[in-house]
Structure 1
Amino acid sequence: MQLYNKLSAEERAKLIDEAGKDRLTISFYQYFKIENPTLFRNKLFIEWNELDVLGRTYVSYEGINAQISVPAENFLALKEQLDSISYLKDIRLNVAVEQNNKSFLKLKVKVRNKIVADGLNDDTFDVTDKGVHLSAKEFNEMLANPNTVCVDMRNHYESEIGHFEGAVTPDVDTFRDSLDIIENDLKEHKEDKNLLMYCTGGIRCEKASAYYKHKGFKNVFQLEGGIIEYTRQVKAEGLENKFKGKNFVFDHRRAERISDDVISNCHQCGKPCDTHTNCANEGCHLLFIQCDECAEQMENTCSTECQEIIHLPYEEQKELRKGKHASNKIFKKGRSEKLKFQKGNTVS
């Protein structure tokens, strides 16, 4: 019985090209009690593997967090499979704004302690006492209210390339880092301000809204379905789009364009740019913003040091990486003093 990937990313990409079939990138989450996460994980892997589902999914005792890709022709079969699970019946599936057949190249279903690393002790507060969920129209109305503080619950590298007008964007590396910072910054307004939160697909706000209510915030609201669902509703209902720039996503696409606004800059030359890349040096993999010109000149590396390393023989590169932990792996932190125009750095 196959319970793990047998194909490399390269082999899978070739098969996708040969199949010539359109795929849909989808995300969903649900908090519910799972008695045996490992058994549930294995069931999902077997059934999804048969449907040619790819992607990254986390399962824990508290629920599921899935970001996947499926052949368009298998979408209804996937929905039927999810509907057969009582807690996932009729669950909202966030379909990506921009599609790419190679958004995911492997199927990974992993058992984790939590479906989102929030650092919270769930036994200390009622995680079901969540904030009020708002549609895109309601969100826009709340955003226009002068008594509202809108907070981006994502990390710095996500909000840097796109965020809602007037939103507070904490300069944090992880979701857990933002929780205490936001509470401290807004401690004088727990009763007199509307706390309006949003994230990519809604999952981070689910836990955060309950946490902030526990901490004494009286008026807590969250964007239902996150930026992804907001964009769908804006297009379907002809609403004004209040989101500027790109929505960062955790797959090979790296981002979806929501508006034509470019609100960030190349970290190497400073020109307007909102395209993320990972340093081509396997021992670095720093996530940073790089324009086409710098990408060509620097060969997709973040520094001259890394550019020199990628020209070394492969065995020498492996030797340099030996015993070292690559702290800047894909989608992690993305900070470096080598990038003169990175947010927070001072240009010399």
Structure 2
Amino acid sequence: MDPNKGRTDLINRWGPEQLRNKLNKETFRRITISFYRYIGIDDPYGFRNELFTQWKQLDCLGRIYVAKEGINAQMNVPEHYWDLFVDNINNNKYLKDIPFKRAIEDDGKSFLKLQIKVRNKIVADGLPDDAFDTSNVGNHLDADQWNRAMDRGAIVVDMRNRYESEIGKFQGALTPQVETFAEELPEVLNLLKGKEEEKVLLYCTGGVRCEKTSAFLKHHGFKDVNQLLGGIIDYKRQVTQKGRENKFRGKNFVFDNRLGERISDEVISHCHQCGASCDTHVNCANVRCNLLFLQCESCGQKYHMTCSDRCAEYVLATNEKKIELEKIHNYRPVKRYL
């Protein structure tokens, strides 16, 4: 049971429009980062409250998950508070020296508010806590090691959801067509059946899903399990700084208001409505639908930023007509993604 229930000092009480207006009026720069750590946290609720109080004072925004198994954070920090934030991190016994991944394309508008939630797990895997030893992880490869392993024919596995890999992936990677990480673990095990002796490379956005997957595969007898150090985000930074070949094609999906950041100039996906080359994710403008899908500019204009004629009719309707349409249609998407 949540001991914070009923407390208003530990939550955000502003509405989306108020938050958006406040963010747009800011005259300073924000730095978007992500980080994670698997570490035993004795009191997740107490830890959550401590972070919320401290980071609210620093005007941080973001979405952070805390669990007994650790922390997974995507957030932004005002540039003028950056040094104080780093000091705050390094003075915390759970977070000291945690590595940050800085966003590749950052407009400072990645998050509207600060949300820190206590979850059963920082990455939901659908498995009992004692199903496998999450600390027995594979090897971490930097960009140079990763590229060499790819050149030598290692098996590359994308540990993200299908709507992520649709817009960007490493050449030749296995891309499980699943919607959640819990679905992905057994699917990857099935895809790799009989390859327990081969070299396996795992990658994801920032590393948190690969960390757990590498331990999962080792538990199931895989001998040479490796993951991309820092995920796609840090891979891009490394190859850019070192002038190395970028083997990632397309765009990297991110779970914030940006919905993506470009890793290479190639566009490998298509508009879900007309089939034109496109890798821009949008949420249907009909808030009762909110379907996540790919839409080109032309279809955005044609359908008024919605996923269908039915939803376009709704967003253009009067309030009276909306009530009538709600009685006729079920606007909730059958699935989260087209």
1:25-104 equivalent positions in 2, closer than 5 A: 25-104=32-111
Distance in 2 separating the partners of 1:112 and 1:18: 33
Residue aligned with 1:176, SS = helix
* Alignment CA distance shift 1:321-1:77 (3 Å): farther
Q: TM-score, with normalisation over the residues of structure 2?
A: 0.94
Among candidates 91, 102, 119, match of residue 126 of structure 2: 119
Aligned partner of 2:229 in structure 1 is: 224
* Alignment CA distance shift 1:223-1:302 (3 Å): same
Query: How many residues of Structure 1 are paired with residues of Structure 2 in the alignment?
Result: 330
Among candidates 144, 148, 162, match of residue 156 of structure 1: 162
Among candidates 245, 249, 255, match of residue 250 of structure 1: 255
Which runs of structure 1 show a deviation greater than 3 angstroms over 4 or more consecutive aligned residues? 314-328
After superposition, the C-alpha distances for 1:192-225 in whole angstroms (9 at most, x for unaligned) are x111100000000111100000011111000011
Aligned partner of 2:24 in structure 1 is: 17
Note the aligned Cα RMSD (angstroms). 1.7
Question: Does the 8 A contact of 1:65 with 1:115 survive in 2?
Answer: yes
1:157-236 equivalent positions in 2, closer than 5 A: 157-191=163-197, 193-236=198-241
Identify the range of structure 1 (229-238 vs 205-214) with the bigger mean alpha-carbon deviation. 229-238
After superposition, the C-alpha distances for 1:275-327 in whole angstroms (9 at most, x for unaligned) are 01111111111101000010001100111111111122336546766897945
Among candidates 145, 148, 151, match of residue 144 of structure 1: 151
Structure 1 unaligned residues grouped into runs of 5+: 336-348
Amino acid at match of 1:218: K
Amino acid at match of 2:193: K
Question: Does the 8 A contact of 1:283 with 1:321 survive in 2?
Answer: no
Question: Does the 8 A contact of 2:289 with 2:331 survive in 1?
Answer: no
* Alignment CA distance shift 1:316-1:282 (3 Å): farther
After superposition, the C-alpha distances for 1:173-207 in whole angstroms (9 at most, x for unaligned) are 1111111111112111111x111100000000111
Among candidates 299, 305, 326, match of residue 304 of structure 2: 299
Residue aligned with 1:88, SS = coil
After superposition, the C-alpha distances for 1:106-139 in whole angstroms (9 at most, x for unaligned) are 1100011011111122313211110100001111
Aligned partner of 2:4 in structure 1 is: none
Question: Does the 8 A contact of 2:311 with 2:331 survive in 1?
Answer: no
Identify the range of structure 1 (57-66 vs 180-189) with the bigger mean alpha-carbon deviation. 180-189
* Alignment CA distance shift 1:317-1:282 (3 Å): farther
